[in-house]
Every structure is written in structure tokens, then in C-alpha cells.
Amino acid sequence: MDNYTDIQCSPPPVAVPPQAAESIVAADISKQFGKVTAVDHLNLLVREGEFFGFLGPNGAGKSTTIRMLCGLLRPDSGGVRIAGYEAATHLTEIKRVIGVLPDEPNLYDRLTGREYVTFAGQMYGLGKEEASRRTKDLLDLMQMTEDPKKLIVDYSLGTRKKVALAAALIHRPRVLFMDEPFNGIDPISVRSLRDVLLQLTARGVTIFISSHVMEVIEKLCTRIAVINRGKIVGVGTVEQLRAQSESGINSSLEDVFIKLVQGEVKSSESLEWL
């Protein structure tokens, strides 16, 4: 993407044809921490250009799965392939073609946002002038109105997330992993970022997003996987998930999700003291 500020109203996401190239493959991956199995023989296939949602209750294994897909954790068994590269043997190549926005960005607090994003661009091999140009475009897009001399240590959570996302996008990744990307970000910036992400998928970038905000997932994603207790319990379009959960055609994604994970919504009637 040559100019990140050239943003127009984007159309809703469209289904990716089944013959599209494989972008993310998780083949029977498992991860155990002590006696706790976080991810249990999980299989996923995401194709190039998909906007793929990943849902699950707290402790279901979402973050562990994402960390294995990004190469931050090695699976105990099974394999991962990203953009055609096997993680077991080509991890360096994978890191060159992915962008990662973690739930809690770990940034260099003693840099300004502009300095950090420019540094990230140079680490990916961009020249200083090109890194500076892309940094300006990205921060302008994200409505960054902070004092240019203000350090990251003094940023709000939302502003830190904007900086982290800009750093994840600056090298034009082929695959973008996002864990709770919109938490703490104001609605205007969310709208701008949403349009950018839809444009990215239209150009063939694969986006893998985990979020607890069902409305965001339902509006943006072409397909969705639901994980519970380390296992995939449903995958497909919203309509396919409704069928898998035996939900009505007008059921919301939230209703479908609760049925798939067999969640019980507690009644407030027992809290008489409130």
C-alpha cells in the first residue's frame, strides 16, 4: 500500500474463493503448560485475503494459539505454516511477512510514537526517508494528536495500541495477527482502522483477529472459528455457525457463541441485595 492516507469508504467483506492460496495452516498443534492443556490438537486453515475471526471465552486458548502461529511459542506437537513457510524451519522468513498487534503492546517507553514506528520500519529494512514517510501517513490516519515530543510512557492504552498497530503495518505484511485490537481506541479511529483493514484484505492481505466484541467480528469477518478448552468447536461463516450450533436464522453471533461453548448466562435475580 503506497499511501496509507488514501482511504475511501470500503465495501463489506466478501467471501474468499476456496481456491485461494493457503495463508495460515495449523496442523494438529498442541501446547501444554505443566498439567494444563492450553491447546489440544487444533487444526485451522485460513486462505489468502480472508478476514478471519477467532473467538473463545477467557482461558480457552486464543492467545496461546496466536502466539504459536506467530512463532512466539513452539507447539509441543503438530506444525504451523504461514504464507507457505514452515515455522519449524523458516521462522525468520515468517517474521518478515507478518505483522503482530498483541493485546498488551510492549513498546519502548522512552521513545515518542513517531520515533518508535520509524524505528520499526527501519528494522524491517526500510530506508530512513521511506520509514519516516510511512510513519507520518499511518499516524495521520490514526488521528494521532499527541504532542510530538511526548514519550510513549505517558500515552493512554488506546494511543499505545495505535502506535503498535502502525508498527505492525509499516512493512506491508502479508499476514496480520491482531489480539483485541480495538480495546481502548475511540470510535472515530476504529472507523478509520476498519476501513484500512478491509482495504488490506481486498489487496490479498490475510487478517487474523481475536476479539470479545462480537459486533466487530460479525461485521468484519468472512469466517470465524470458535475455540473452547483448547479445541475448535465451530468454524465457518456466521450462517454456518448458526447451523452448527442449531441456532435460529435470526440468532446473533453472541447467541451462537454461547451455545457453541455451552456457556450459562447467570441470572441477576439471585443478587437480591443489589
Question: Given a cut of 80, is residue 82 above it in pLDDT?
Answer: yes
3-state SS assignment for residue 65: helix
Residue corresponding to grid cell 526500510: 126
- Confidence band for 2, pLDDT divided at 50, 70 and 90: very low
Reading the block at residue 186, the C-alpha cell is 475511540
Reading the block at residue 140, the C-alpha cell is 495521520
Give pLDDT tens digits for 120-165. Answer: 999 999 999 999 999 999 988 877 777 888 999 999 888 888 899 8
Rounded Cα distance, 49 and 51, in Å: 7
Residue environment code for 169-194, b if the CB has 16+ CB neighbours within 10 A, otherwise e: bbbbbbbbbbbbbbeebeeebeebbb
Pairing between β-strand 206-210 and β-strand 175-179 as defined by DSSP bridges: parallel
**Residue 9: per-residue pLDDT:** 36
Q: Which of 28, 36, 106, 35 is nearest to 68 (CA)?
A: 28
Give pLDDT tens digits for 186-239. Answer: 787 777 778 888 888 988 999 999 988 888 898 899 999 999 999 999 999 999
**Residue 186: per-residue pLDDT:** 77
In the chain, the domains with their CATH numbers are 36-264 (3.40.50.300)
Q: Please state the rounded mean pLDDT for residues 80-100.
A: 94
Question: Given a cut of 50, is residue 113 above it in pLDDT?
Answer: yes
> What share of the chain in percent tops pLDDT 90?
61
Give pLDDT tens digits for 165-191. Answer: 899 999 999 999 998 888 777 787 777
- Helices (H), ranges, the chain: 62-69, 91-97, 113-123, 128-141, 157-169, 187-202, 214-220, 238-244, 253-260
Q: What is the mean pLDDT of the chain?
A: 87
**Residue 3: per-residue pLDDT:** 40
Question: Between the CA of residue 60 and those of 42, 108, 155, 210, 238, what are the distances in Å?
Answer: 12, 30, 30, 12, 20
**Residue 1: per-residue pLDDT:** 40
**Residue 198: per-residue pLDDT:** 87
3-state SS assignment for residue 201: helix
Residue with the larger pLDDT of the pair 265 and 222: 222
